[in-house]
Amino acid sequence: MRGRPRFNGGRVLSDGYVLYWWAELLGILVFYVAYSAVRNIHGGELPPPHAFDHARQIMSLERHLGIYHEQTIQQWALHFRPLILFANYFYGSFHFIVTIFAAVFLYRHHTDAFPRFRNTLAVTTAIALIGFTLYPLAPPRMFPGFVDTLLKDPAIWSFNSGGMQTVSNQYAAMPSVHIAWAAWCALALGPRLKNRTASVLAWCYPLITLVVIVITANHYILDAVAGVVILGIGWIAANRLTRAGRKSTVNNVA
């Protein structure tokens, strides 16, 4: 929408487009509800067909590539309980906290960039849903030799607590949305935070997330690689589709 704000809470972009925080919030909530519903189709105690076969395929491919180190890394990390506790709380909270912060930061301080980043995240997450549906994957913690740290040590929640076991899709591992969203946050925050320490932490956030998802045995390394790939696809698609906030783009969709 171009022109002056017709309602309260509007922000005018440099090219005349108007964004409303409440409309953006409503859109995000609707998208996330739909995302959760589709993602959790396979929620429940019984694994979807081929989830464990797919996991063995991933392990076999990682061995072939020489990157099957998840068990070794977790066994090392288990000797440092404070690290495991940090990873548990990080896994259960930062995924949402940092992403929300990045979105609000862009909207408030770099509004022109917000539509492109919003569309990038939406496309990336939608692609992830295709992966969850077509390639259900049992995470490492479901195999002998791995420890489900969220269950073993204190955490905000675990996949076996309360209703999580019945409603959460524990086989939505490929690609890793944790990594995709973390890399998105790094791109959004890293170049724009004025504080050098905060900027460095933003750039390191995907690497920290990678360590966390491995030592908690919730993802394989290839899940993380796939997360970066779908973010790249989402970025390219958003660059082609987003018009708002970009004066030079034409014949695209806002």
Distant-in-sequence, close-in-space partners of 210: CB < 8 Å, separation ≥ 6 = 179, 221, 224
More confident residue, 106 or 47: 106
Which phi and psi (to 5°) does residue 240 adopt? -80, -30
C-beta separation of 110 from 190 below 8 A: no
C-beta separation of 243 from 249 below 8 A: yes
pLDDT at residue 235, rounded to an integer: 97
Across 99-114, average pLDDT: 94
pLDDT digits (tens, 9 = 90+) for 155-214: 654 555 554 444 467 898 899 999 999 999 999 999 999 999 999 999 999 999 999 999
pTM for the full model?
0.87
More confident residue, 124 or 170: 124
User: Where exactly are the structural domains of the chain?
Assistant: 20-241
Across 211-224, average pLDDT: 96
